[in-house]
Amino acid sequence: MMKELRVKTSSRVELLDITHLVEKAISEAKIKFGLCTVYVPHTTAAVTINENADPSVRRDIITELNKVIPFDDNYSHMEGNAAAHIKSSIIGSSETLLLDGGSLVLGTWQGIFFCEFDGPRTRKVIVKLIEG
């Protein structure tokens, strides 16, 4: 089963908790055991798993990424979003999680985050569920 989700971001750089959207896709598919791959088909966005209990973690990740990969740094790419491409490559375009009893296997404080690096935009997130 594959489902396409839509995510709307409101900032240039943003980490948006999409755990509930992925869980809804799993619930609708009625798959109890297997794998769940979350894939972002964009070159200036990414997906990661990290702490979702304290919003300051998201802010810290964004702050440090922006320090390491600044928006303006004499890049060759002429569209003005070279930093977004680099951040996306570093974070990555997919995450694969285990499904057990119809639930994602995540740590107590973990959530799935859509990472926007060139927003605001409306983006796609693909959820692929493999039963097994």
pTM of the complete model = 0.96
How far is it, in rounded angstroms, from Cα 24 to Cα 10? 22
The pLDDT score that the predictor gives to residue 124 is 98
How far is it, in rounded angstroms, from Cα 22 to Cα 83? 27
Q: What is the pLDDT of residues 107-129, one digit of tens each?
A: 999 999 999 999 999 999 999 99
Query: Can you point out the beta strands (E) in the chain?
Result: 2-8, 14-17, 34-39, 45-51, 94-100, 103-104, 110-116, 122-131
Span 87-104, mean pLDDT? 98
The pLDDT score that the predictor gives to residue 11 is 97
Q: What is the pLDDT of residues 3-57, one digit of tens each?
A: 999 999 999 999 999 999 999 999 999 999 999 999 999 999 999 999 999 999 9
Q: Which CATH architecture has domain 2-131?
A: Sandwich (2.60)
Domain-wise residue ranges, the chain: 2-131
CB 122 within 8 A of CB 14: no
